[in-house]
A and B are shown apart, each in its own frame.
Chain A
Amino acid sequence: MSDTNMTDYPAKAGTWLLRLLILCVPVANVVASLLWGFGGRDAVTRGFGRAAFAFILLASAVLASGGLLAANYLLSAVLAAG
């Protein structure tokens, strides 16, 4: 069986739902994405895990930038107020 043959892929909707739920849990999402991405049984799981890991890193960078901007704004507001 080919790993890329989606019609033959055994994972069911419930499995995907569980994976997505795990990705919503802090810390567990990083562990799970690394396990799927670099220790997955098949190519689909490995691809999904690596994409999830990349997404977590990207979201962290965006969130950190937003936080820095917000901190800068708050600091300016506090300095301006007094």
Chain B
Amino acid sequence: MSTRKKPGLILAGALLGLVLLPLWVAAAALASAGLLAGLALAPPTPAWARQLPRPEDSPGLAAELGQALGSASLGSHLQLPEAELNRLLAAALRDLPAATIQPSRAGLRLTPGAAELAVQLAMAQPQRLAAGFSLRPLTMTARLRLDLSQADGSLVLSLKGLTLGRLPVPQRLLTALAASGRLPLDGLELPEGLSLRLDGPAGPHLVLAYAFADRYLPDLVRLQSVESVEGHLRLGLRLDDRLSARLLATLSPSLSARGGELVAALEASAAAGIDRASLQPALDAAAALASLGTGAAPAQPSALVSFMVNQATVRGADGQERLLDIGDDLYAGSTILTGPGASLELLLRDGSSLYLDENTEFGLDSLPQAGTTSITRLSLVAGRARAVIQKLIDPQSGFEITTGAGVLGVRGTDLVLSYHAGQELTLQVLRGSVALQPPAGEATLVPAGQAIQADASQLRAGLNLPLEPFPLDEATIAALNEDLALSTRPEDEAAIRRSGATLAILEQARRLAAGLGDLDHASLSAVGRQIGQTVDLDALGASLNELRRESAFRELLDQLGLDASTIDQRLRSLQ
């Protein structure tokens, strides 16, 4: 080596070495810290995801579905616990065709509005090497965090996170992969009613149309909503409208008359010395049957609860509070209260719809009548509501929504109003126009696509400070339409009423049967004699026989624990 070259090389090497040294130290420190943090933070597979039912132990999807539906009580909501769902998933996996990567077990953990799906993936089938030796299949548990929301007659499952074994895959990476179109989904064929979307503001998401579930449900019920609550999947079911209409037309008048006769028979039994307390459940159910309607709209103006998520209560004009259910009628003077995570939809007689968001208190002061001149007054005490109000043709009619800060006068409008006393008021107008009239001062007109917002100081000043409408951007309008989407339409009203009335009749019939079933043998014989003398069982039997010709109705009776084949025998034994 030339002596001229040597110092230069030493200098260059030392300089480069000194530049690289901090880089090595920093990178090594970061890599070690990342590895340690990853090991410390990455959660191990939870116990529930390791103890899932095995597909090979399942009797099959049809049997599991029958058991799940049979054990659930049929109402406007059907609660399916996690254990039932996991058995259904195991049954569904059993029928999957063989593949290189096979989901061997799957299960769900449900929380309000979200679910975690664990899928155990087996990479290869066990290979037998020699007598007594075999390769265990290479397995890994993939866990998907999903958000469950409802939109446009479908359940939307948005992917919010993926964990492979102990490795959490960052959401940004999933979104970027989905957006790049590099996920191997080209060959994926989804059944009709299912669609996978990889773009959009919700990120990758699976859309499951409720109509998809119809092929797996009995003929008599239709899926209307799906929501996740703690440990349960709550299905909103509506009875098939054709069956409801037929059942109401055939059975309702007969049951209503027989209900009165049953009350008389049970009262006579109590008078004859049978313990009144043991008769009370049956008496209550019989009285309820006698008073049930035919699913027609009541004569006085009312608001129909057409859809509900979680629990909401109503406080009547008398101050009594009760839980609400789909199909309930609410009258003027009532106040509705929605709890955390709850929402409610109402259909009014004039075709208007209301959506009440969670933690909302909303008053029905005066309700509209169908096709007549009427003044409708509603009040938002606190919370957020969307109102889609039909255009008023009659100039004498009016529609007002009151808040503590002012009155909204509306005619043919789609608006979102949020109000918290003393804190804020926001009015967003999606269609039509709204005049906000403060207690004193001039009204502010808010046209379509615009909004106004008042803060605490403006509310304290009684909205006398000028409020300037500002335009709503497209993203806000899209978010409002998604968050406060109305899932029922005015034309659904009759079907919802019929479904509610039918379910109420069936529930009371079930309670009556259970109440009578709890009596001891001697009491039941005595009550049976009274019923045989007082109730026109021939008329009831004729109505039931007519309905029993329908397979869906027979299925319904079986589901309620009322075996159709023994109804005649029971009726005859009572005579």
Residues of A whose CB lies within 8 Å of any CB of B are 26-35, 38-41, 56, 60, 63-64, 66-71, 73-74, 76-77
Contacts and interface: CB of A to CB of B under 8 A. Distances in A.
A63 B27 CA distance: 6
B37 interface: yes
A60 B9 contact: no
Given A38-B9, A39-B1, A63-B23, A77 B18 contact: no
Contact of A29 (B2, B17, B29, B30): B17
Contacts of B135: none
A30 B23 CA distance: 14
Contacts of A74: 30, 33-34, 37
B31 A26 contact: no
Given A35-B13, A70-B31, A74-B30, A30 B20 contact: yes
Nearest to A40: B1
B11 to A, nearest CB: 9
B14 A27 contact: yes
Nearest to B3: A39
Nearest to B42: A77
A39 B38 CA distance: 45
8 contacts: A27-B21, A30-B13, A30-B16, A30-B17, A34-B10, A63-B31, A68-B27, A74-B33
> What secondary structure prevails in chain A residues at the interface with B?
helix
A36 to B, nearest CB: 9
Q: Which of B5, B9, B23 has the most CB of A within 10 A?
A: B9
Given A26-B17, A31-B13, A69-B34, A77 B27 contact: no
Q: Which of A60, A64, A71, A73 has the most CB of B within 10 A?
A: A73
Interface in B416-433: none
B17 A70 contact: no
A32 B13 contact: yes
Given A35-B6, A35-B10, A77 B41 contact: yes
> What secondary structure prevails in chain B residues at the interface with A?
helix
Nearest to A41: B1
A26 B26 CA distance: 14
B1 A67 contact: no
B170 interface: yes
Contacts of A38: 5, 9
Interface of B: 1-2, 5-6, 9-10, 12-14, 16-18, 20-21, 23-24, 26-31, 33-35, 37-38, 41, 170
A23 to B, nearest CB: 12
Contacts of B23: 60, 63-64
Contacts of A63: 23-24, 27-28, 31
Nearest to B21: A26
B30 A39 contact: no
Contacts of A76: 170
Q: Which of B1, B5, B12 has the most CB of A within 10 A?
A: B1
Contacts of B1: 35, 39-41
A47 B14 CA distance: 20
B501 to A, nearest CB: 50
B5 A31 contact: no
Nearest to B40: A77
A35 B13 CA distance: 8
B250 to A, nearest CB: 60
Given A60-B20, A63-B28, A77 B37 contact: yes
A28 B18 CA distance: 9
A41 B27 CA distance: 35
Given A67-B28, A73-B34, A39 B17 contact: no
A37 B207 CA distance: 62
B162 to A, nearest CB: 14
B6 A39 contact: yes
Nearest to B10: A31
Contacts of A70: 30-31, 33-35
A32 B9 CA distance: 9
A26 B28 CA distance: 13
A73 B34 CA distance: 7
A77 B37 CA distance: 9
Contacts of B170: 76
A32 B1 CA distance: 13
